[in-house]
Amino acid sequence: MPRFFDLSSFLPIVLIATLSSITLFRTDSVAQENPVCFMVDRSNQVINLNRLCKTETAQPTLLFKDLKSQLIFDGNMAEVKGTVTNSSSQVIPLSNIYFQLVADNRVISSSAVEIAKEDGLKPGESMAFEKVISKRDLGNVPPSAIQVQVTRFD
């Protein structure tokens, strides 16, 4: 009579090996989902890690165009002007534009323009800005040789 393979003798060995590997190779898990950051420890407790995780917020996108300086009135004053456009999909609060005047790779003056835009700059909206400064602030540099650089806004 032929002998058949007896599965019942090997079943306990397979079961013990499977359970042992599950128990021995278990690891903690860390999950990160914006804007929260947490970890699940061995006892399945959730630990809040928000103060350790850095969330980077992108600066809203404003485009500054037509930045220039020119002499006005009797030649004792200079005007700095330009256009700002909101190219993002959200309203951007805007109260000040900070700029510097650069000639020959050096900053010769810096100032700010106060913007009267209480409700913020809407998506796609543009507005002109200007600031009159004393020609003394330019030194002996002609306005045509000056570059206007926006440094920041708030």
Decide the pairing of beta strands 77-86 and 36-40. Answer: unpaired
Task: Tell me: do 53 and 80 sit in the same domain.
Answer: no
- Whether residue 102 is contained in a domain is answered as yes
Peptide bond just before 60 cis, omega within 30 deg: no
Domain that holds residue 66: 62-153
Predicted confidence (pLDDT) per residue in 47-61, tens digit: 777 777 766 555 668
Backbone angles phi, psi at 16, to 5 degrees: -65, -40
- Whether residue 97 is contained in a domain is answered as yes
Predicted confidence (pLDDT) per residue in 138-149, tens digit: 888 887 888 899
Predicted confidence (pLDDT) per residue in 87-112, tens digit: 888 898 889 999 998 888 888 988 99
CA distance 150 to 113: 10
Answer whether residue 26 shows pLDDT above 60. Answer: no
pLDDT confidence band for 2 (50 / 70 / 90): low
Backbone angles phi, psi at 141, to 5 degrees: -85, 125
User: pTM to 2 decimals?
Assistant: 0.59
Task: Tell me: do 81 and 130 sit in the same domain.
Answer: yes
Answer whether residue 84 shows pLDDT above 70. Answer: yes
Task: Tell me: do 90 and 134 sit in the same domain.
Answer: yes
pLDDT confidence band for 136 (50 / 70 / 90): confident
- Whether the CB-CB separation of 79 and 70 falls below 8 Å is answered with yes
Answer whether residue 114 shows pLDDT above 80. Answer: yes
Task: Tell me: do 142 and 72 sit in the same domain.
Answer: yes
- Whether residue 85 is contained in a domain is answered as yes
pLDDT at 9: 67
Place of tokens 């002996």: 140
Answer whether residue 83 shows pLDDT above 70. Answer: yes
Task: Tell me: do 132 and 90 sit in the same domain.
Answer: yes
The CA-atom distances, in angstroms, between 34 and each of 2, 31, 39, 95 are: 64, 10, 13, 29
